[in-house]
Amino acid sequence: MISRIYSRFCQTLPAPEGSRGLLVAFSGGLDSTVLLVLAARFARAHGLALNALHVHHGLSPHADDWVAHCEGVCRQLAVPLIVERVQLCRGNGESLEAQARAARYERLAAHLGEGEWLLTAHHQDDQLETLLLALKRGAGLRGLAGMVASQPFAAGHLLRPLLDMSRAELAEAAQSLPYGWVEDESNEDPSYDRNFLRQQIIPLLKDRWPAMARTTARTMALCAEQEALISELAEADWQAVGEGEGLRIDGLLSLSPVRRNNLLRHWIRRQGGEMPSRELLGLLWQEVALARDDANPRLSLQGLACRRYQGRLYLVAPDLAPREEVLPIRMEETLTLPDGLGQFRLWRTDGEGLRTPRGDEPLSVRFQVAPGVMLKPVGRVGSRRLKKLLQEYGVPSWQRGRIPILYYGEQVALVAGLFVCDGFLAPEEGVAWEWRPPVPQDAD
């Protein structure tokens, strides 16, 4: 039995020359035991390094016994075992199941080397559970596509080589092995959604339709293909309509509603946001994108806020407050700005720069100017208030009060990224400056 499964296992894996080693997520349960045996055989056949990793969550009174069991199996297979102990926080609003999963993948990522493969024991029946849970949540194609057989992960790749095998096949293979396996008692608790499906719903479905798991896997593969297709379309639309990290509203207006929503979801995802509901996406369009011209609309999403400025949509942090600090800075110093606003530094240069400050002009970085103060950028005729200048330079309202301003004593020398004030520019042997704003995170 194990030999027949091994042949299918090998067919699902990429060419072994592309791997620098294998890491198996090993819980000691039935599925991961079969996976470890298959991986050990594959690693020996192709001369690859293999390690197993077991995460001790401390949730079960038997957790230490499971570690001992895993150590014994790995000794018999001559596979090095890494044991990671993690602590979870009860009562913090996140389910222990979700915390345990996040902690497990965090530890797996930490131990996965460059170009290595992480193997997990997800199988065909897990896919069926995943689909039913996605239907419960009202998920779109991305959720209905379920787990993929291969995807980038940390420094290497995450592979699920058992996805086309049923739990019954794995159980038959496990019973032919001499190692045994551990049973997690929490798997019997129907208060967990997956357990409820596994114990009460899926057996009924399989009794009625024995091929249910296999046909479901085929449906999910088709959903994955369709998801890949609409992602390609969204990326093409992003290239046409995106500007910086924003979206041009006139470009969105040229798209059909379905295509526009697809691009909005892609835009939110690539900036690290969570997918909004259809209702929230409708509000984003109606109350932000189509708000009256003189409005300053804002819609809160999960962890982000959608704002509009000069015909563009932006996703920003939800609570951007103006800064009031006065931060002294010296020459040849790099100053870390508050609230994740990046770094600001000064150094001497032989080329064009700011004039050298006088002894009575201590340098400081601030974010505000006093009411009524007029500024005159180099090359401009006449002075204007900072608010008007920021409007002219196209600075969105939520960024005002968050741009570093270099002061010589009580005089504004420059507004970083925008302009130098008249009287502070030197043609040579001056002071160079640099503001490194935070780099927006790309979810892809």
Tell me the binding residues for ATP. Answer: 27-32
DSSP 124-150: HHHHHHHHHHHHHHT--HHHHT---SE
List CB contacts of 213: < 8 A, sequence separation 6 or more. 124, 125, 127, 128, 166, 202, 206
Q: Which residues are annotated as a binding site?
A: 27-32
What the block records as the tokens of 248 is: 């041009």
| β-pairing verdict for 117-119 and 22-25 | parallel
**Cβ proximity of 236 and 264 under 8 Å:** no
Which strands sit side by side in the sheet containing 363-366, from one edge to the other? 327-328, 363-366, 405-408, 411-415, 419-420
DSSP-based helix, strand, coil % in the chain, nearest 5: 40, 20, 40
State how far the alpha carbon of 59 is from the alpha carbons of 64, 70, 93, 185, 255, in Å.
Answer: 10, 17, 17, 11, 50
What the block records as the tokens of 10 is: 């090998």
